[in-house]
Chains A and B, each alone.
Chain A
């Protein structure tokens, strides 16, 4: 492992560390805001309960109250542990009330000493899109508009230009004279989307995953304009997932139910990968074109690929430092 490479990983870590809020500021804010939010919460709950418009059935009234309370909760990173537990309880209950599905929403934090990295073998990918299918099912992606985080581009041999690639192919693959290149969120170490968000609703976690607090996002879509890899998706309408297909294993920062008007993105399956599992796309890939692992673990497969293969990243000139590399056999 070269020194430069190691330095780069240190940089990654430092970047993340720099984005963490100073603890004293957090505490100050917390104490100041708790009073305010407590009052607001009580007020709106009372208002919702007394409102003549409140629904007839007990369940609907409960749902309305929970929805009101959800509207005025705080930014995920500023919540205390109790506040987090409360919102999880509310969200799980709301999911039950809305769809009848018992979901579990985790708040599993990043594992210490872990920085996720991804490598994609462009000579192995055959364009089957099994990853796309797995991603849709795993992440509760909107079926109505067919949201897909992953794009598989069919590229002509000898051309490394996405402008001449086609992602809408629907013929037997692999096609003669073509190779396949997949894109998704690259979890940049220097993410433009995080920099531009006006309310800090998207940020980089210590394990390098850029996540979105769906309840804090105001839906301005500046991050979508800022992403050089077209990795972000917007809920133009309320997303729809058939009840029987809902993945109940959810994460607050990952695949939980989104609402209309907010931005979402690939999180490297944060609910799986923080438990040591592979992202759904990597697990579903039938060709083994996808290599996933811990960049800080010198024995990991991803580190072997980076050290032994000629790798490249998309649009490296933009200095976004993607954690997603391409390589070939």
Chain B
């Protein structure tokens, strides 16, 4: 298997691992509820899930995500907040596929929301492939390009390192300062440790993106759906076409 092929395979098994993280992992003493839409492919979670061939194609997911079919997890309390007036809400899971950033149907056309998808970047996933012991692999065994693609903007700006956020014993999880561990889906709990204002607003509806309609089920996107945790600022990009003020363009 070439290096490239290996790379592709990791991308394909990523959703399975995410599902595993969401369902299989227990932490603290809570069992996060998982709501998965009917059309989402959920592989059975198990120790060998990493090798499962996940039949999710880009076109499947792109075709349309109708309201009520988003894969979500229930949001856990952040500083006691559960959203406006204590109402529960859900967090949309991080995208399962490179091309599957929430694609929503507008009329006959499907629009891919320009949300950051991190999956293609995670070339060393799962972490346990290397970080399989309490200690990190020795320098001599470390692949040459390990983590070279991970920008360190946020860690260096915040004066932290990998373990400020990644759990020491199980790097597939995130470690909170109080010793709790959370899955990647609940990264907002980690972010909330410093960015408490933003997370408060996010939980209440003033920050971040709401999906799935204004009525009924409240589904919001998580922090890392938009912000790369290693370089959180959104990158500039070319906007959709500008309006024309030329009357000639309109009328003649």
A: residues with CB less than 8 A from B are 121, 124, 126-130, 132-134, 137-138, 140, 145-146, 148, 151-152, 167-175, 236-237, 244-249, 273, 275-278, 280, 282-288, 291-294, 298-305, 308-309, 327, 329
Contact = CB atoms under 8 A, between A and B. Distances in A.
Interface string B87-124: 10000000000000000101111010111000000000
Contact of B84 (A146, A245, A273, A301): A301
Contact of A301 (B67, B206, B237, B243): B206
B221 A137 contact: no
A172 B206 contact: no
B166 interface: no
A275 B226 CA distance: 27
A245 B109 contact: yes
B171 to A, nearest CB: 29
Main SS at interface, chain B: loop
A137 B211 CA distance: 19
Interface stretch (B25-33, B50-58, B147-155, B212-220): B212-220
B105 to A, nearest CB: 9
Contacts of A304: 84, 204-206
A128 to B, nearest CB: 5
Given A126-B236, A284-B106, A299-B85, 7 more contacts: A129-B239, A130-B114, A146-B241, A167-B243, A273-B214, A286-B226, A291-B206
Contact of A133 (B208, B234, B240, B251): B240
Contacts of A327: 206
B65 to A, nearest CB: 10
A218 B85 CA distance: 47
19 contacts: A121-B206, A121-B207, A126-B236, A132-B243, A146-B250, A169-B242, A237-B251, A273-B214, A277-B67, A277-B215, A283-B106, A284-B106, A288-B209, A288-B221, A293-B205, A294-B214, A301-B84, A301-B210, A303-B84
A245 B214 contact: no
Contacts of B242: 129, 167-170
Contact of A308 (B108, B204, B215): B204
A127 B239 contact: yes
Contacts of B251: 145, 236-237
B39 interface: no
Contact of B236 (A121, A152, A173, A303): A173
Contact of A309 (B115, B206, B214, B243): B206
User: How many B residues touch the partner, as a band?
Assistant: 35 or more
A276 B241 contact: no
Given A236-B250, A278-B213, A309-B206, A133 B243 contact: no
A117 B35 CA distance: 29
A176 to B, nearest CB: 9
A299 B87 contact: yes
A-B pairs, 8 with minimum CB distance: A301-B205, A247-B107, A276-B215, A288-B209, A129-B240, A172-B236, A286-B114, A137-B106
B237 A329 contact: no
B244 interface: yes
A89 to B, nearest CB: 22
Interface in B67-99: 67, 84-85, 87
Nearest to B209: A288
Contacts of A302: 205
A308 B200 CA distance: 11
B238 interface: yes
Given A246-B107, A329-B201, A172 B237 contact: yes
A57 B115 CA distance: 51
A303 B218 CA distance: 15
Nearest to B110: A137
Interface string B194-208: 000010010011111
B144 interface: no
B240 A286 contact: no
Contact of B205 (A130, A145, A167, A305): A305
Contact of A249 (B107, B201, B216, B237): B107
Nearest to B198: A329
Most interface-central of B109, B204, B251 (chain A CB within 10 A)? B109
Interface in B219-237: 221, 226, 234, 236-237
Given A128-B237, A173-B239, A283 B114 contact: no
B47 interface: no
B207 A288 contact: yes
Contacts of A301: 84, 204-206, 210, 214, 218
Contacts of A293: 205, 214
A287 B67 contact: no
B236 A138 contact: no
Contacts of A298: 85
B245 interface: yes
B205 A151 contact: no
